[in-house]
Every structure is written in C-alpha cells, then in structure tokens.
Structure 1
Amino acid sequence: MDERAATELIETARAETARLAAVLTRQRDEIVAASEFSNADDEHDPEGATIAFEREQVQALLRQAQDELAALDAAAARVRAGVYEVCERCGGPIADARLAALPATRICIACANRR
C-alpha cells in the first residue's frame, strides 16, 4: 500500500471514529443533563437499566472511540515514518487487506493469531 492510500484509509477511519465520538459525547451529556435535577432512585428502579448504567455504558463506548482515535493518530505517524506496513512484533509485513480492515493495527495476522 502506498503512502497516499494509507493516509487516505487512516483519515477516513479517523473521520468516522470522530463522528462516533461526537455522537457519544452528546448522548452522555444528554443523560447527565436529564438526570441532573431528578431525584429518581435509579439504583432501585424496577424498570430495568439504571441511569448510572446507561451513563457508564455510553462513557465506555466513548473511551473506546477515543482510544481508537489515538491508535489512528499513531498509525498516521507510522505512515510518515515509513513503517506502517511493518509488524511491531516480528518485523514482517502486514498485509494490505489486514490494514484495510483494521487501519490502526500494529501487528501482522500471524502474530495476532499467536496471541
């Protein structure tokens, strides 16, 4: 994969992940705002999932999106350094198909299977 294609792949994945992070941030903020002036006892709510559970679930998804953004930034740095297609474990090549599926990956399929 040439540098231009790798950069485009990473930028596309980053834009999608940034949009997801923005949506999750809005959801988290809405949950917090909706419960801010409520005196509901969500810990003993017989209706199912608690407000705290919803908030933590959205927060966990937001953390995953933020981690993916950081991983994509690191992938962009590897492209600039000329080591984007090099496995960090064995030093072998990472297949283009794997990079297309997982633009932030740092290891080849053989090393991933050895885990």
Structure 2
Amino acid sequence: MTIQRFGTTARYSDIVIHNGTAWIVEVPATEGADAATQTREILDNLDRLLAQAGSGRERLLSATIYLTDMADYDAMNGVWDAWLPAGTAPSRACVQVAGLAHSGWRVEIAVMAAVRGAD
C-alpha cells in the first residue's frame, strides 16, 4: 500500500493518506484569538486540506479536539456544529490539555476522513 504525504516538512505532513483514509491535524492561524475565531480558522483550513485529499467534511470518520480551557467548549462547539453537515457527525473526543505548541493557541483539531473513490 502506498502512503501519500502532502505539505511535508522535516517535522510533519499537512495530510497523510493510506488505504483510503486521510489524516489531518490543524492549528489556528491567529495566536491569541478567541476559541470561536481559532476554531473557524482551523475548519476553513480543514475544508481546503480535505478537498486536496479527495475528501470533505461530510466524510469525516473521527475527530479529536484539544482545548487548553474547557470554558471554550461551547464557543468551539457553536462553530463546529454550524460547519458540520447534518447527519454526518464523526466519532469525536474533546479533551483539555495543559498546553499546545504555541501559548496563544486555544484549539487544535485532528481528523480522519474517508477519501472519495476508496469506498
């Protein structure tokens, strides 16, 4: 089985595809912004990366959402719920972490999605 990588650096790849599944992790563009803004930035980037992978938000299989403060849970969910098409919710975990790679990040999201044509 071939493993495809896109946007690869020495440390990470933007997208990894294997066996009909795409793995993507996204972080916000704006450090210090509120959780809703950071979530919106992440989901906008996920749309772009999912399309590049031959997938889409309606094909999400799993999501793990990392928050630095659970007080941001409702704000993040407000953006998430509006973004996700009805009836397509993936399995999901949302966890509070002590911190993310940059102190101004409040949200980080990791997803797995089915790639079109691999079903």
Q: TM-score, normalised by structure 2?
A: 0.29
Task: Specify the structure having the higher radius of gyration (Cα).
Answer: 1
Structure holding more strand per residue = 2
Q: TM-score, normalised by structure 1?
A: 0.30
More contact order relative to length (CA 8 Å, sep ≥ 6): 2
